[in-house]
Chains A and B, each alone.
Chain A
Amino acid sequence: MDPFMWFLLVLLAFMILGSLIAAETEDLLSSVVCVGAVGMVLALVDLFLGAPDLAITQLVVEILTIAILIRVVLTRRDETHETRKDTLAVGGVMLSLGVLLVLGGWAFTGLHPFGEPLLNSAEPGVAAQYLAGGLAETGAANAVMAVLLDYRAYDTFGEATVIFISVIGAYAILRHKGRVRHADGNEPHR
Chain B
Amino acid sequence: MPTGMSLIVKTITRLVASFITLFGVYVTLFGHVSPGGGFAGGAIVAAGLILVLLAFGREETNRMITHRLALGADCAGALGFLALGLLGYLAGGYFYNFLDPGTPHTIASAGTIPLCNLAIGAKVGGALFGVFLALAIFRPDPRTEDRS
Contacts and interface: CB of A to CB of B under 8 A. Distances in A.
Interface of A: 52-53, 55-57, 60-61, 63-64, 67-68, 71-72, 135, 137-142, 144-146, 148-150, 153-154, 156-157, 160-161, 163-164, 167, 170-171, 174, 176, 181
Q: 5 closest Cβ contacts across the A-B interface?
A: A139-B101, A52-B35, A140-B32, A140-B110, A153-B95
Contacts of B113: 138-140, 145-146, 149-150
Given A139-B101, A141-B104, A153-B116, A148 B111 contact: no
By CB atoms of chain B within 10 A, which of A64, A71, A140 has the most? Answer: A140
A164 B124 CA distance: 9
B55 interface: no
26 contacts: A55-B35, A57-B39, A60-B44, A64-B47, A64-B128, A68-B135, A71-B136, A138-B101, A139-B102, A139-B111, A140-B33, A141-B104, A142-B31, A142-B34, A144-B37, A145-B32, A149-B112, A149-B113, A149-B116, A150-B111, A157-B81, A160-B120, A164-B78, A167-B74, A171-B71, A174-B135
Contacts of A60: 40, 43-44, 47
Contacts of B123: 160, 163-164
Label chain A's interface by main secondary structure: helix
Label chain B's interface by main secondary structure: helix
B141 interface: yes
B44 to A, nearest CB: 6
By CB atoms of chain B within 10 A, which of A149, A163, A174 has the most? Answer: A149
B104 A145 contact: no
Contact of B135 (A52, A55, A71): A71
Interface in B111-148: 111-113, 116-117, 120, 123-124, 127-128, 130-132, 134-136, 138, 141, 143
Given A149-B37, A150-B112, 13 more contacts: A60-B43, A64-B46, A64-B50, A67-B50, A71-B135, A71-B136, A141-B105, A145-B31, A149-B116, A161-B78, A167-B127, A170-B134, A171-B71
Interface in B5-53: 27, 31-40, 43-44, 46-47, 50
A185 B35 CA distance: 56
Given A57-B43, A149-B116, A156-B120, A142 B35 contact: yes
B37 A142 contact: yes
Contacts of A52: 35
A190 B67 CA distance: 27
A182 to B, nearest CB: 13
A89 B39 CA distance: 41
A56 B18 CA distance: 19
B81 A139 contact: no
B30 to A, nearest CB: 9
A72 B131 CA distance: 13
B33 to A, nearest CB: 5
